[in-house]
Structure 1
Amino acid sequence: MAKPALVLLPEWGSGHLMSMLESCKRVLLSGDGEAFSITLLVMRPPTAEATSEVESHVRREAASGLDIRFHRLPAADPPSDAVGVEEFIARYIALHAPHVRDAVAAMDCPVAALVLDMFASPLVDVARDLGVPSYVFMSSTGAMLALMLHLPVLHEKVAVEFEEVDGDLEIPGLAPLPPASMPCPVVDKKSPNYTWFVRLGDRFMDATGIIANTTDSLEPGPLAAIAEGRCVPGRTAPPVYPIGPVLSLGDRDRSLAPSHECVAWLDAQPPASVVFLCFGSMGWFEPTQVVEITAALERCGHRFLWVLRGPPSPVSRHPTDADLDELLPEGFLERTKGRGMVWPRWAPQKDILAHPAVGGFVTHGGWNSVLESLWHGVPMAPWPLYAEQHLNAFELVADVGVAVPLRVDRKRDNFVEAAELERAVRSLMGGGGEEEGRRAREKAAEMKAVCREAVAEGGTSHAALKRLAEALHSGASIPKK
């Protein structure tokens, strides 16, 4: 009999697609030999740039030798009247529902599960109609999962905008949450983004299970709150399988660019002496913010490697290579020569975080970047910019303890003053007796061991992976035609 298939429907962004695929590759290899096959349903992304990126991933994975197949879904016309990014993504994915149904119904082998991106959770109805299990894949934190499950409840409890609440918000499993730390898509209750997030969280409850790229050891509070039924009183949440951290480590970045000057520069620096500043695939700053960063780096005296990107082009959402002569204040590079490097293009972040010279990470706080940092025991100063990153920053400081706080002015487009960044870098890198920095460094070193133990034989995430594989095997069925 043919191996049961995991059918994946990821959102097209690399942080979603690759996180889901890498997680399901672990499931594929969880038994003796390859226990499952994988069929990835490829939606046509809404931009040519995103299409090129997806096709690059497809080509690489097709050559991996694993039992991974790719099925391109028929094109759908993107919604032209979407107001927000999250609304656009959810609506665009929903338009593919009939194509997903046709693709799964046509499969000639048992289907272990239809694995859905968090933005695709309404497609649990497709799986139910076909008689196959559905699993939502959560590429973000356990805290974000707890919030999304609880959001329909919170919506009924809180009649005003969250920022108008007097005091902190109570989210099961989390420390009392300041309204300013709520994720960007839910700060405006009048927006379609908010409406969609309430809907998405509600549909999570109808899935067979939830696969989460986290671990019990890292986020015990929110995961326990979900398992104990505190997020949605009166309803039993689907079982959550925290199998993370799932990272595509290996040597992929080096193979893409084996001789990066920025990594070579790190080779000449003392251990744990360099603060690394990098803000993800979407992160860039206006010139006024760049000036504040340069002032902070110049005054703090620490060695630094700063990935500085230019603004997106008119046809792209992604930053461009930076023109350092245009963006940096006159004389900055000369004044910091020898102890600092500004890198104006894509950087091999995984290689950099793994380098022994790196002692701290100023990051936008995207979950994949956070997991990479924790895997290598690097403490952080989170500078949230978009999506759920404000919640991530709060959790890293208040709950996990691996980061020093950085005061971000959310009303000024997440602006950070030079003095505040200087303070955070000094605390993060040590040398001044700052207690919060010392605690973050110690906790990050502890979490490095915790993350690695979780995925090793006998670890909590390894055990969750085994439970997931058993559930998938027992639930596999031939789709109804």
Structure 2
Amino acid sequence: MMATAATPALVLLPEWGTGHLMSMVESCKRVLLGGGRKFFITVLVMRPPTDEATSEVEAHVRREAASGLDIRFHRLPPVEPPADAAGVEEFIARYIQLHAPHVRDAVVGLGCPVAALVLDMFAAPMVDVARNLGVPSYVFMSSTGALLALMLHLPVLHELVTVEFDEVDGEVDVPGLPPLPPTSMPCPVVDKKSPNYTWFVQLGERYMDATGIIANTADELEPGPLAAIANGQCVPGRTAPPVYPIGPVLSLGSGNTKKDSSEPTHECIRWLDAQPPASVVFLCFGSMGWFEAPQVMEITAALERSGHRFLWVLRGPPATESGAGAPDGSEHPTDANLDELLPGGFLDRTKGRGLVWPKWAPQKDILAHPAVGGFVTHGGWNSVLESLWHGVPMAPWPLYAEQHLNAFELVADMGVAVPLKVDRKRDNFVEAAELERTVRSLMMGGGSEEGTKAREKAAEKKAVCRNAVVDGGSSHAARHRLSEALHQGAAHPKTRINAA
């Protein structure tokens, strides 16, 4: 894993989840390798705690290694996962931290100038490894600027709010955001007695110790939260590390490039080709989103009664015999058995105006298709960015992680989404009548004011996203500042790590 002394090394430590790993790798490909100043880039690969996740990571590594770009992948030695973790976020943070000595050895083994150690948002405690080696450290924020503002402010809220957040009388004050309903707080912080909450408070504290924070967003996309961080509102009395909003960083595939004529067109795209412009509502819930049978019945009723064309990616439950799922919460849905999940006659009654797709679908290409007029989504940040890039308005249906906060931001702050009433106490259940109303509004049924506003705002954000990344855009300028900071770090004498 030796590099030439003339080229500074940039060492990345992503979490293994697709949304984390690929977001960071895309930043390497499109940002850190771009322009005239180059880095020798090494991605440190942790072995995921499940075989399924391991196979997924290895597939990503093989694909990127074959891309021809100068990105090296270094597999860290395996560690024993913590057996007593009480929650997903605690498990991930502790599992990553167990790799600390291996991360140190990998950085030392480079034997060349090191520009920085770039850490996943869950790996922030590794700033200590970087500090001990005299290497700058950057946290890579694969989620929103709003979540970053909340996490930086969470140690302050911990002291100010002495009750559980769902017991707060009124809203929660997060700098840079409109008043936040307690029901929109991220899942890991809703229970203060949970180790997940404790870890989130600690992560927010450790972000302050980083050299800088790289964020997959844009200044104009989230001006409030980013300004609040820069102005010192999130952590009173302390200056936050500089934030570099370099996004949107997306792997757009054929949705942004000319399609290889030898590549067969996906069935979902062929179906969309036969639909009128902006006529189809697209329902897709990420790599881990699936529903129990009662919720599926509500969705079918809503779609049937709405009268709108739809493309619905419906997945089946994970294949976990115990029902407990993977320790890191990464249990993946299976291909759906439509005969078992859908009510009798549904496919016949909606034939011609609806397609239910029971397995993985090319979401990016679907959102790029002119027939798609709205997106019912779990609200994961990568999915949101893909939707905004193509100007598609949304109806967020949050399921886990920070998605309830994302949904609030999309509706109340950005205005690019139509609200969908989700019953958080019933495992985010949505009634058929509510989904039907939302689909009609999103697709501008009856001249909906909500749908019209969301569509107009989504078009505005499409321009914002694209303008940010071109020469002269805000994210282009942030990338330049980041590149200069990284090269300054590489030139510092302490970063010339030697194995001795």
Q: Into which bin does the TM-score normalised by the smaller protein fall? A: over 0.9
Equivalent residue for 1:376? 390
Equivalent residue for 1:313? 319
Is the 1:130–1:480 Cα contact (8 Å) retained in structure 2?
no
Give the counterpart letter for 1:262 in structure 2. Answer: C
In structure 2, what is the Cα distance between the partners aligned to 1:72 and 1:382? 36
Equivalent residue for 1:445? 459
In structure 1, what is the Cα distance between the partners aligned to 2:263 and 2:397? 27
Give the counterpart letter for 2:116 in structure 1. Answer: A
SS at match of 2:253: coil
Is the 2:11–2:107 Cα contact (8 Å) retained in structure 1?
yes
Q: How does 1:186-225 map to 2 (within 5 A)?
A: 186-225=189-228
Equivalent residue for 2:472? 458
Q: How does 1:69-88 map to 2 (within 5 A)?
A: 69-88=72-91
Q: Say if 2:117 is the partner of 1:114.
A: yes
Equivalent residue for 1:29? 33
Counting aligned pairs with the same residue, the percent is 82
User: What TM-score does the superposition give when structure 2 sets the normalisation length?
Assistant: 0.94
Equivalent residue for 2:233? 230
In structure 1, what is the Cα distance between the partners aligned to 2:18 and 2:127? 23
Equivalent residue for 2:371? 357
Is the 1:131–1:480 Cα contact (8 Å) retained in structure 2?
no
**Superposition deviation, residue 257 in structure 1:** 7.4
Equivalent residue for 1:169? 172
- Match 1:345 to one of 350, 353, 359: 359
SS at match of 2:374: strand
**Superposition deviation, residue 2 in structure 1:** 2.2
SS at match of 1:251: helix
**Superposition deviation, residue 31 in structure 1:** 2.5
Change in CA separation of 1:283 and 1:207 when aligned onto 2, cut-off 3 Å: same
Listed one character per residue, the Cα deviations across residues 174-196 of structure 1 (whole Å, up to 9, x for unaligned) are 00000000000000000000000
Q: Say if 2:409 is the partner of 1:395.
A: yes
Equivalent residue for 1:8? 12
Give the counterpart letter for 2:95 in structure 1. Answer: Y
Give the counterpart letter for 1:5 in structure 2. Answer: A
Q: Say if 2:346 is the partner of 1:332.
A: yes
Q: Say if 2:291 is the partner of 1:291.
A: no
Is the 2:253–2:365 Cα contact (8 Å) retained in structure 1?
no
In structure 2, what is the Cα distance between the partners aligned to 1:366 and 1:114? 26
Question: Runs of 4+ in structure 1 displaced over 6 angstroms?
Answer: 252-257
Q: Say if 2:261 is the partner of 1:251.
A: no
**Superposition deviation, residue 442 in structure 1:** 0.4
Equivalent residue for 1:47? 50
Listed one character per residue, the Cα deviations across residues 122-143 of structure 1 (whole Å, up to 9, x for unaligned) are 0000000000100000000000
Equivalent residue for 2:281? 275
Equivalent residue for 1:478? 496
**Superposition deviation, residue 151 in structure 1:** 0.3
- Match 1:467 to one of 459, 470, 481: 481
Is the 2:122–2:203 Cα contact (8 Å) retained in structure 1?
yes
Q: Say if 2:399 is the partner of 1:385.
A: yes
In structure 2, what is the Cα distance between the partners aligned to 1:407 and 1:252? 31
Equivalent residue for 1:135? 138
- Match 2:106 to one of 103, 106, 110: 103
Give the counterpart letter for 1:235 in structure 2. Answer: R
Q: How does 1:415-434 map to 2 (within 5 A)?
A: 415-434=429-448
**Superposition deviation, residue 29 in structure 1:** 2.6
In structure 2, what is the Cα distance between the partners aligned to 1:269 and 1:148? 43
In structure 2, what is the Cα distance between the partners aligned to 1:173 and 1:275? 32
In structure 2, what is the Cα distance between the partners aligned to 1:84 and 1:479? 37
Unpaired runs of 5+ in structure 1?
Answer: none
Listed one character per residue, the Cα deviations across residues 307-346 of structure 1 (whole Å, up to 9, x for unaligned) are 0000000166100000001000111001101000000000
Give the counterpart letter for 1:62 in structure 2. Answer: A
Equivalent residue for 2:41? 38
- Match 1:408 to one of 422, 427, 446: 422
User: What TM-score does the superposition give when structure 1 sets the normalisation length?
Assistant: 0.98
Give the counterpart letter for 1:188 in structure 2. Answer: D
Which range moves more in the overlay, 356-365 or 66-75? 66-75
In structure 1, what is the Cα distance between the partners aligned to 2:137 and 2:31? 15
Give the counterpart letter for 1:299 in structure 2. Answer: R
The total of aligned residue pairs comes to: 480
Is the 1:27–1:36 Cα contact (8 Å) retained in structure 2?
no
Give the counterpart letter for 1:438 in structure 2. Answer: T
**Superposition deviation, residue 480 in structure 1:** 5.8
Let me know the Cα RMSD of the aligned residues: 1.4
Listed one character per residue, the Cα deviations across residues 154-180 of structure 1 (whole Å, up to 9, x for unaligned) are 000001000000000000000000000
**Superposition deviation, residue 380 in structure 1:** 0.0
Listed one character per residue, the Cα deviations across residues 4-25 of structure 1 (whole Å, up to 9, x for unaligned) are 1110000000100000111122
In structure 2, what is the Cα distance between the partners aligned to 1:143 and 1:469? 24
In structure 1, what is the Cα distance between the partners aligned to 2:176 and 2:137? 25
Give the counterpart letter for 2:142 in structure 1. Answer: S
In structure 1, what is the Cα distance between the partners aligned to 2:263 and 2:45? 27
In structure 1, what is the Cα distance between the partners aligned to 2:173 and 2:129? 34
Is the 1:39–1:68 Cα contact (8 Å) retained in structure 2?
yes
Unpaired runs of 5+ in structure 2?
Answer: none
Equivalent residue for 2:24? 20
- Match 1:92 to one of 79, 90, 95: 95
Q: Say if 2:308 is the partner of 1:302.
A: yes
Is the 1:30–1:469 Cα contact (8 Å) retained in structure 2?
no
In structure 2, what is the Cα distance between the partners aligned to 1:266 and 1:252? 14
Is the 1:117–1:138 Cα contact (8 Å) retained in structure 2?
yes
SS at match of 2:462: helix
In structure 2, what is the Cα distance between the partners aligned to 1:415 and 1:258? 37
Is the 1:277–1:306 Cα contact (8 Å) retained in structure 2?
yes
**Superposition deviation, residue 252 in structure 1:** 8.7
Equivalent residue for 1:57? 60
